[in-house]
């Protein structure tokens, strides 16, 4: 019983956190972009523009709900939700902080310790693709159709190198143990030798690129390419429905950063985040947030400075460069793991 | 007859095609319309006039010495990209009741859009044109607006200055005052309530060669524009796609059309100067320059600007070029998908230059700075110092910075190299001009080919690139900015003291009867003004050879076979401004 109650409470808190995080991520992005572009950025709503996200939200919510005549209504309305929910749900397996033990009761700062967490993430993020494809398809518009088609091929292509790198990471969890693990909670709790960290960081750029593609961020934002497809799959969406897509993109950025922080940078680990102390969870959560913010900075930095590559070049890059590289990485990892075995 | 022609024109080729040349005046050769294609072919192949710069028509209804038999005159300005120098002007005179002549599009493919424009405005039919439809006006438009007997809605008077619109201090509606009323006329049998607009024109589809293994698939037609973020205004491309590959493209313009040329005929000579600002609103100084050059040719001695004014004109024109290329490079990157960062960095320089314009002309974009025989306002030493600061200390560093970040950028290279190929032969044939032409390796620059103003005094290079692609266009623009800085340095060093105006400033310009074509190398290419004067206070004809309009000829051949994402980049590299394209 208690596990149900705590899970519900934790889920609600997490959703609240993520939505606030999304709101302030837009603020963070706009501020950063404006700094990159020698501008000032939002500074009118509230002190230093801090209420800007609130103003945006109010505006999006109170916009008229327009459903165009020529769309497939059910799918059209379903698609934004289908895009947002996987982005939220994927966060369930990310450990946010070390456990807190109060008497007999242990409070765990993750919603589910699934033993196939990495598979779960791969599966869930693939579902998110449906939201975009269906949205583009049901809009019954040439631009959105092109956007949807691009999404389909882009997502399928980039999940391949991402999956392969994840397999390599899973392999390294074998080192020094009898069995490896797929659970993020256990991966975070494992001790890794220093050379293994270095080896993992070698794969980080590749993984980061696939995450950029996975969350449709520049320079891989081909489904929405403002400059040619205007807004791509979301062209027929306005008001809160558009905001849902927007949310999905940003929350999947946060989720992606959290997963990267967990896999490559030790998650909540950091000085003073000692498990078993009363302050451990707070400091640990702080470390995780800090890591996420730094990774988000990377996303935005890339967006501010890179032109976009073309759709066919994107696929060429994926199939001709990224996939072979990740396979090579996997093979080398397998050799290392085999050599390191006792 | 032919003796007189040889005497007036001094051209050896007047007799090359028997019966082609029927007359000549001090401005050009009058050609028989039946022999026009043959004669043009001869000029192109044997005499080296390979570049059709400007094609337009004049309506001489009621002009002194003209009859209905030669009411219309189609005027061709031909130049040579190899020899440079003055070109040759062909004229074809057409009777009122039979205004048709053969199309020159097979000799000069660049005549395509210009012939459509003439058809649109004058109703002159070009036989053999592949898609002779209206281009600026919509298909339901009644009449041909550039004809002298066509009166616009709310027509008041033939020429400015109009009589007072506020007689005794009361405002009057024009339609209450003039006998034509609001002058809104519908074609016969046309009813606005039952009218169904014509279907949008479908592009001519260029099928890929049917080889084995090629799957026959459906095309989708996508409308890019007029509301589209990357068409640089209200331009529309109707694109037929095979997957993501473009197989057909039809440019549609005219959304910003205001019949600039008709308004120009109503205006006084002087009143047209601020009006030219609105053409290419990013480079108003160059527009002023081209127009005053054309009119000064008809003004005799009074049209000769003093030294200081010439230097000021060159300084302004080159600053404008830097402005424009900064903008163009920045927004090319925007079209490539860089999120405004490069654009904002380049606009920074543009702002500084606009500050200079504001200081001297009072306006940042609509400068209205040049006058016939001089410039409007003098600059002081402080302005010159500010200008020197920017030119000597800042611009080159900024261009270096741009090059550091952009020129070898991996993504820029993959997106631009080999995209939008335009061979040198095609570029000349399609009348491409400016950076478009030079990026195809043709060293043709009006500043060198027919030096105007004082450009023969400066040491500068004509920047070319053999890449023939979008990347080459980018590099040519960067190179031209460097050359402009070079010219500016020389001009700022040499600028003399002295008057800035020949004679006193006057509202009324005395312009001799005649014709003149004044062209400058504007930032976007050869910006030409063809003016016809009947000796009155208003132009009889005021035509603009708009570089960004004529460069659109190249759009379709360049985009076929590339991806849809390339189309916006190719369009961005043409660098059009719709104020000029649509006029």
Over the stretch A114-131, which tens digit does the pLDDT of each residue have?
Answer: 788 888 888 888 888 888
The pLDDT confidence band at residue B282, using thresholds 50, 70 and 90, is confident
Same domain, B190 and B272: no
Cβ B249 vs Cβ B555: under 8 Å = yes
Instruction: Tell me how far apart the alpha carbons of residues A279 and A285 are, in angstroms, rounded to a whole number.
Output: 10
* Whether the Cβ atoms of residue B495 and residue B391 lie closer than 8 Å to each other: no
Residue B215 has pLDDT above 70, yes or no: no
With a pLDDT cut of 90, the percent of chain B lying above it is: 10
Against a cut of 0.95, is the pTM above it?
no
Residue-level pLDDT at A98: 78
Residues 6+ apart with CB under 8 A from B102: B33, B34, B36, B37, B126, B127, B128
Q: Does B235 map to a domain?
A: no
Contacts of A40 in chain B (CB under 8 A): none
Among partner residues A142, A143, A306, which is closest to B338 by beta-carbon distance? A306
B179 and B294: one domain? no
Which of residues B37 and B169 earns the better pLDDT score?
Answer: B37
Query: Within a domain: residue B232?
Result: no
Closest partner residue to B566 among A38, A229, A310, by Cβ? A310
- Find the mean pLDDT for residues B236-260: 85
Residue B120 near residue B582, CB atoms below 8 Å: no
* pLDDT tens profile B252-270: 888 888 888 888 888 888 8
Number of H helices, E strands in chain B: 20, 15
The rounded distance, in Å, linking the Cα atoms of B207 and B228 is 26
| CATH number reported for the structural domain that contains residue B17 in this entry | 3.30.460.80
Q: Is residue B3 part of a domain?
A: yes
Cβ distance of A230 and B229 shorter than 8 Å: yes
* Residue in A304, A305, A312 nearest the CB of B563: A312
The percent of chain A in helix, strand and coil, each rounded to the nearest 5, is 70, 0, 30
Q: Is the dihedral of CA B277, B282, B286, B287 positive or negative?
A: negative
Instruction: Give the CA diameter of chain A.
Output: 66
Among B238, B339, B343, pick the best mutation site for testing chain A contact (most A Cβ within 10 A): B339
Q: Pairing between strand B72-79 and B51-59?
A: antiparallel
Report the alpha-carbon distance of residue B484 to residue B489 in Å, rounded. 9
SS3 state at A132: helix
b or e along A20-49 (b: 16 or more beta carbons within 10 Å of the residue's beta carbon)? ebbbebbbbbbbbbbebbeeebbeeeeeeb
pLDDT of residue B214: 64
A and B: number of Cβ contacts within 8 A: 86
CB A152 within 8 A of CB A133: yes
Burial of B518 (0-12, 13-18, 19+ CB in 10 A): buried
CA closest to B567 among chain A residues = A228
In what helix (H) or strand (E) does residue B516 lie, and over which residues does it extend?
A: strand B514-522
The pLDDT assigned to B534 comes to 87
Q: What is the pLDDT of residue B232?
A: 79
Which has the higher per-residue pLDDT, A182 or B383? B383
What's the confidence (pLDDT) of residue A325? 92
> Is B270 a domain residue?
yes
Q: A2-6, B305-309, B340-344: which has the minimum mean pLDDT? A: A2-6
pLDDT for B320: 92
B133 Ramachandran zone, left/alpha/beta (phi>0; psi -120 to 50): beta
Interval B314-363: pLDDT, tens: 999 999 999 999 999 988 888 888 888 888 888 888 899 999 999 998 88
Q: Do A226 and B228 touch (CB under 8 A)?
A: no
**B248 in a structural domain:** no
Residue B314: what pLDDT?
92
Radius of gyration over every alpha carbon of chain B, rounded to an integer in angstroms: 24
CB A280 within 8 A of CB A100: yes
Mean pLDDT of B425-445: 89
Which among A39, A225, A309 is the nearest to B411, CB-wise? A309
Tell whether B401 and B497 lie within a shared domain: yes
**What's the whole-number mean pLDDT along residues B64-68?**
82
Instruction: Give DSSP secondary structure letters for B29-89.
Output: EEE-GGGHHHHHHHHHHHS---EEEEEEEEE-TT-TT--GGG-EEEEEEEE-TTT-S--EE
* Tokens 């994107």 sit on residue: A314
Q: Which residues are paired to B101 by β-bridges?
A: B126
Helix (H) or strand (E) holding B221: strand B220-224
Q: Which residues of A touch B241 (CB under 8 A)?
A: 146
pLDDT value, residue A326: 92
- Per-residue pLDDT band for B163 (boundaries 50, 70, 90) equals confident
Q: Which residues pair with B223 in a beta bridge?
A: B238
Cα–Cα nearest to B467, from B428, B441, B496, B431: B441
How distant, in Å, are the alpha carbons of A341, B25, B298, B557 from that of B7? 100, 10, 22, 42
Whole-angstrom distance, CA of residue B420 vs CA of residue B562: 8
**Rounded to whole angstroms, how far apart are CA atoms A238 and B28?**
60
Residue B8 has pLDDT above 60, yes or no: no
Touching check for A152 and chain B: CB below 8 Å? no
CA distance B383 to A35: 31
Residue A225 near chain B (CB below 8 Å):
yes
Q: For the purposes of burial, counting CB atoms within 10 Å of the CB of B456, is it exposed (0-12), middle (13-18) or buried (19 or more)? A: exposed
Chain A residues inside the 8 Å CB shell of B341: 33, 36-37, 304-305
pLDDT category of residue A327 using cuts at 50, 70 and 90: very high
Query: A225 to chain B: which residues are within 8 Å by CB?
Result: 337, 565
pLDDT value for B227: 80
Map tokens 């996303």 to a residue.
Answer: A299
State residue B6's pLDDT score. Answer: 44
The share of chain A scoring above pLDDT 70, in percent, equals 99
**CB contact, 8 Å: B229 with chain A?**
yes
- In this structure, what token pair is assigned to residue A157? 């292509």
Q: Determine contact, residues A32/B339, Cβ cutoff 8 Å.
A: no
CA neighbours closer than 13 Å in the CB half-sphere of residue B350: 21
Cα B95 to Cα B68: distance, rounded to the nearest angstrom: 6
Residue B161 preceded by cis peptide, ω within 30: yes
Instruction: Give dist(CA B532, CA B511) in Å, integer.
Output: 10
Please compute the mean of the pLDDT values over residues B391-397 and round it to a whole number.
89
- Tokens 């899973």 belong to which residue? A170
Report helix, strand or coil for B250.
Answer: strand
Three-state secondary-structure class, residue B164: coil
Residue B569's contacts (CB-CB under 8 Å, 6 or more residues apart) are: B332, B335, B336, B415, B416, B419, B420, B470
The pLDDT of residue A200 is above 60:
yes
What residues of chain A lie within 8 A of the CB of B223, using their CB? 142
Instruction: For the sheet with B51-59, list strands across it.
Output: B21-24, B29-31, B88-94, B72-79, B51-59
Nearest Cα residue to B231 out of B246, B247, B248, B251 = B251
Specify the pLDDT at position B64.
Answer: 81
Give the integer Cα–Cα distance in Å for A196 and A216: 30
**Cα distances (Å, whole numbers) of residue B399 to A25, B403, B475:** 34, 6, 11
Compute the distance between CA of residue B430 and CA of residue B553 in angstroms, rounded to an integer.
6
Q: What are the φ/ψ torsions at residue B112 (nearest 5 degrees)?
A: -45, -65
Query: In this predicted model, which residue has the larger pLDDT, A111 or B104?
Result: B104
Q: Classify A105 as helix, strand or coil.
A: strand
**CB contacts, 8 Å: B566 with chain A:** 310
How far, in whole angstroms, is CA B449 from its chain's centroid?
18
pLDDT exceeds cutoff 70 at B1 = no
Torsion sign across C-alpha atoms A308, A309, A312, A317: negative
Round to whole Å and give the CA distance between A188 and A201.
15
Per residue in A140-184, pLDDT (tens digit) is 888 888 888 888 888 888 888 988 998 888 888 877 777 777 887
ipTM of the assembly?
0.81
- Which DSSP symbol is given to B501? B
Mean pLDDT value across residues B26-31: 82
Distance between alpha carbon B535 and the CA centroid of its chain, in Å? 25
Lowest mean pLDDT among A1-15, A19-33, B150-164, B277-291: B150-164
The overall average pLDDT reported for chain A is 84
**Do B421 and B472 contact (CB within 8 A), yes or no?**
no
Q: Is the pLDDT of residue A297 over 90?
A: yes
- pLDDT value of residue B179: 67
- Do residues B189 and B264 both lie within one domain? no
Which of B29-33, B446-450, B474-478 is modeled with the greatest confidence? B474-478
Q: What is the mean pLDDT of residues B129-140?
A: 82
What pLDDT score does B319 carry? 92
Q: What is the pLDDT of residue B335?
A: 85
What is the residue whose two structure tokens read 């620059």?
B445
Whether the per-residue pLDDT at B3 is higher than 80: the answer is no
Domain annotation covers residue B116? yes
Under the banding of pLDDT at 50, 70 and 90, the label for residue B87 is: confident
- Which of B19-33, B262-276, B468-482, B508-522 is the least confident region? B19-33
Two tokens, residue B441: 């390796």
User: Among candidates B428, B278, B253, B401, which has minimal Cα distance to B329?
Assistant: B401
Locate B222 and state its tokens: 């996508």
Q: What is the pLDDT of residue B563?
A: 85
Hey, are the CB atoms on A308 and B566 less than 8 Å from each other? Answer: no
What's the total number of domains in chain B?
A: 2
Compute the nearest-CA separation of A222 from chain B (Å).
10
> Which residue is listed with tokens 């927007």?
A246
Confidence label for B7 from pLDDT (cuts 50, 70 and 90) = very low
pLDDT at residue B415, as a whole number: 87
**Range of the structural domain that residue B57 is part of:** 1-135+140-162+173-196
Half-sphere exposure of B546 toward its Cβ, with a 13 Å CA cutoff?
Answer: 28
Residues 6+ apart with CB under 8 A from A2: none
């Amino acid at each position: 019983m208690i596990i149900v109650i705590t899970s519900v409470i934790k889920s609600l808190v997490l959703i609240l956190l993520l939505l606030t995080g999304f709101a302030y991520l837009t603020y963070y992005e706009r501020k950063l972009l404006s700094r990159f572009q020698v501008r000032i950025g939002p500074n009118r709503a509230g002190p230093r523009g801090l209420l800007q996200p609130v103003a945006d939200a109010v505006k999006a919510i109170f916009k008229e709900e327009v459903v165009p005549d020529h769309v497939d209504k059910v799918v059209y309305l379903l698609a934004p939700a289908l895009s947002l929910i996987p982005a939220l749900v994927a966060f369930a397996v990310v450990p946010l902080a070390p456990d807190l033990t109060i008497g007999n009761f242990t409070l765990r700062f993750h919603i589910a310790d699934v033993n196939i967490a990495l598979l779960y993430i791969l599966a869930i993020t693939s579902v998110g693709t449906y939201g975009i494809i269906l949205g583009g398809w049901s809009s019954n518009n040439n631009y959105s159709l092109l956007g949807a088609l691009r999404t389909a091929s882009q997502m399928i292509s980039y999940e391949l190198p991402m999956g392969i790198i994840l397999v390599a990471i899973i392999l390294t969890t074998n080192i020094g143990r009898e069995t490896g693990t797929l659970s993020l909670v256990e991966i975070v709790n494992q001790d890794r030798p220093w050379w293994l960290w270095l080896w993992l960081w070698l794969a980080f750029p590749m993984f980061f690129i696939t995450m950029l593609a996975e969350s449709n961020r520049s320079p891989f934002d081909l489904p929405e390419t403002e400059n040619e497809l205007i807004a791509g799959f979301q062209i027929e969406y306005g008001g809160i429905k558009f905001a849902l897509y927007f949310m999905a993109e940003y929350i999947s950025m946060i989720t992606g950063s959290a997963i990267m922080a967990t896999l490559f940078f030790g998650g909540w680990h950091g000085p003073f985040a000692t498990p078993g102390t009363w302050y451990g969870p707070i400091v640990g959560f702080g470390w995780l947030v800090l890591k996420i913010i730094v990774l988000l900075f990377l996303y935005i930095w890339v967006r501010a400075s890179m032109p976009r590559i073309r759709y066919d070049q994107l696929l060429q890059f994926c199939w001709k460069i990224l996939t072979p590289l990740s396979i090579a990485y996997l093979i080398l990892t397998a050799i290392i793991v085999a050599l390191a075995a006792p | 007859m032919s003796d007189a022609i040889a005497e007036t024109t001094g051209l050896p080729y007047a007799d090359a095609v028997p019966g082609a040349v029927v007359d000549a005046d001090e401005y050009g050769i009058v050609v028989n319309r039946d022999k026009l294609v043959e004669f043009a072919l001869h000029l192109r192949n044997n005499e080296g006039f390979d570049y059709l710069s400007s094609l337009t028509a004049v309506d001489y209804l009621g002009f002194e010495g003209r009859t209905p038999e030669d009411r219309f005159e189609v005027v061709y300005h031909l130049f040579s990209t190899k020899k440079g120098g003055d070109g040759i002007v062909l004229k074809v005179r057409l009777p009122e009741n039979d205004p048709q002549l053969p199309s020159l599009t097979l000799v000069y493919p660049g005549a395509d859009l210009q012939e459509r424009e003439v058809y649109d405005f004058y109703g002159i039919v070009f036989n053999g044109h592949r898609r002779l439809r209206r281009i600026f006006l919509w298909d339901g438009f009644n009449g041909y607006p550039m004809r002298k007997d066509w009166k616009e809605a709310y027509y008041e008077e033939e020429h400015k200055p109009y009589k007072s619109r506020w007689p005794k201090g009361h405002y009057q509606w024009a339609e209450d005052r003039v006998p034509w009323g609001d002058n809104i006329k519908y074609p016969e049998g046309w009813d606005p309530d039952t009218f169904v607009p014509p279907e949008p024109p479908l592009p001519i589809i260029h099928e890929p060669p049917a080889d084995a293994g090629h799957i026959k698939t459906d095309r989708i037609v996508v409308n890019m524009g007029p509301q589209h973020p990357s068409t640089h205004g209200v331009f529309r491309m109707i694109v037929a796609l095979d997957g993501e590959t473009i197989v057909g493209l039809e440019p549609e313009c005219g959304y910003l059309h205001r019949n600039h040329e008709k308004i120009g005929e109503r205006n006084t000579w002087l009143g047209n100067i601020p009006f030219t600002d609105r053409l290419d609103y990013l480079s108003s100084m160059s527009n002023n320059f081209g127009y005053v050059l054309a009119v000064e040719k008809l003004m005799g001695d009074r049209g000769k600007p003093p030294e200081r004014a010439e230097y000021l004109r060159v300084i302004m024109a080159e600053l404008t070029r830097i402005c424009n290329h900064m903008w163009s490079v920045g927004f090319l990157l925007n079209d490539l998908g860089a999120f405004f960062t490069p654009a904002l960095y380049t606009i920074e320089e543009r702002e500084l230059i606009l500050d200079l314009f504001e200081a001297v002309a009072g306006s940042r974009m609509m400068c209205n700075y040049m006058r016939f025989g001089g410039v409007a306002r003098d600059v002081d030493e402080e302005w010159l110092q500010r200008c020197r600061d920017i030119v000597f200390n800042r611009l080159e560093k900024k261009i270096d910075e741009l090059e550091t970040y952009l020129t070898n950028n991996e993504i820029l290279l993959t997106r631009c190299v080999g995209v939008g190929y335009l061979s040198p032969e095609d570029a000349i044939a399609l009348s491409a001009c400016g950076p478009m032409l030079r990026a195809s390796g043709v060293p043709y620059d009006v500043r060198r080919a027919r030096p105007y103003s004082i450009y023969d005094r400066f040491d500068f290079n004509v920047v070319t690139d053999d890449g023939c692609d979008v990347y080459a266009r980018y590099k040519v623009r960067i190179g031209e900015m460097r050359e402009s800085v070079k010219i500016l340095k020389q001009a700022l060093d040499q600028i003399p003291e002295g008057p800035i105006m020949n004679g006193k400033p006057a509202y009324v310009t005395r312009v001799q009867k005649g014709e003149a074509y004044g062209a400058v190398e504007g930032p976007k290419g050869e910006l030409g003004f063809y003016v016809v004067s009947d000796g009155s206070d208003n132009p009889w004809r005021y035509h603009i050879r708009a570089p960004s309009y004529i460069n659109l000829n190249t759009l379709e051949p360049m985009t076929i076979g590339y991806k849809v994402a390339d189309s916006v980049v190719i369009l961005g590299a043409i660098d059009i401004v719709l104020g000029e394209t649509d006029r």
